[in-house]
Amino acid sequence: MATAQPKRSALIIIDVQNDFCPGGSLPVAEGDQVIPVINRVAGSVPLVVATQDWHPADHVSFASRHRGRSPFDTVERGGLVQVLWPDHCVQGSAGAELHPDLDQRPFDLVIHKGTDPEIDSYSAFFENDRRTSTGLEYYLRGLGCEELLLAGLATDYCVLYSALDAVRLGFRTTVLLDAVRGVGQPPGSLEGALREMRAAGVALRESRELHL
């Protein structure tokens, strides 16, 4: 019996959901403009994984759960600083669905994250407690994956944390600059995220630079 060939590289598509695109409850400026780039790249990569924020209605990250607090305030929960957001990506809602223009045919796996009502989850690999794994690392290693391309939303939150974790776990990691967009809150967060990723060893490239 022939042995399946390892899938050495993977595209990780992070949270390209209706609520994070124009018209959603937590829109990222130009968030939908990443979609044509992602669709083009996804057709040329051996392995494609997408993530979805998939929050219960009473999630700890929702400002509506904290009396007297507003979106983009911060609170401390369990020793972690929690940014408060508008209600978004509630399980089973239209806002939580992947954007309809995103071509899902190349997808090999979709991971739901942020499902625990008491812990937020930015990274595709771990919840924000830095201990609870999504299982993505083991899935990729089991398929022989060594190199990751990251795309999606948002550059200064879920893309940032996913990229830092990917490098820390030993994956060669590239963020596709034309396939990500940022929140920009608080001011300077986008520029800070790019600096932090670059310093950690994440490659920042345009998709046209890839040889796919």
How far apart CA 11 and CA 33 sit, in angstroms, is: 17
The pLDDT mean for the chain works out to 94
Label residue 201 by pLDDT band (50, 70, 90). very high
CA distance 145 to 141: 6
Residue 100, domain CATH: 3.40.50.850
Whether the per-residue pLDDT at 101 is higher than 80: the answer is yes
Q: Which two tokens stand for residue 29?
A: 């400026």
Average of per-residue pLDDT across 177-190: 93
Q: What is the mean pLDDT of residues 30-59?
A: 97
User: Is 81 a member of any domain?
Assistant: no
Extract the tokens encoding 108.
Answer: 């090999």
Least confident of 13-22, 100-109, 128-137: 128-137
Q: If you ran DSSP here, which 8-state letter would residue 168 be given?
A: H
Rounded to an integer, what distance in angstroms lies between the CA atom of residue 157 and that of residue 21?
15
| pLDDT band with cut points at 50, 70 and 90 for residue 3 | very low
User: Does 117 fall in a domain?
Assistant: yes
Write out the residue range of the structural domain in which residue 13 sits.
9-59+87-209
**Within a domain: residue 74?**
no
Considering the chain, what percentage of its residues have pLDDT values greater than 90? Answer: 90
Note whether residue 186 is domain-resident: yes
Q: How many domains does one find in the chain?
A: 1
Do residues 26 and 20 make contact, with C-beta atoms less than 8 angstroms apart? yes
Does 1 have pLDDT greater than 80?
A: no
Instruction: Tell me, yes or no, whether 44 lies in a domain.
Output: yes
| Mean pLDDT, residues 134-163 | 97
Supply the residues annotated as catalytic. Answer: 15, 113, 158
For residue 69, is it within any domain? no
Looking at the domain assignment, is residue 2 inside a domain?
Answer: no
For 15, what's the count of Cα atoms within 13 Å in the CB-facing half-sphere? 34
Q: Which of 11, 49, 16 is nearest to 147 (CA)?
A: 11
Q: Within a domain: residue 1?
A: no
pLDDT in tens, 48-62: 999 999 999 999 999
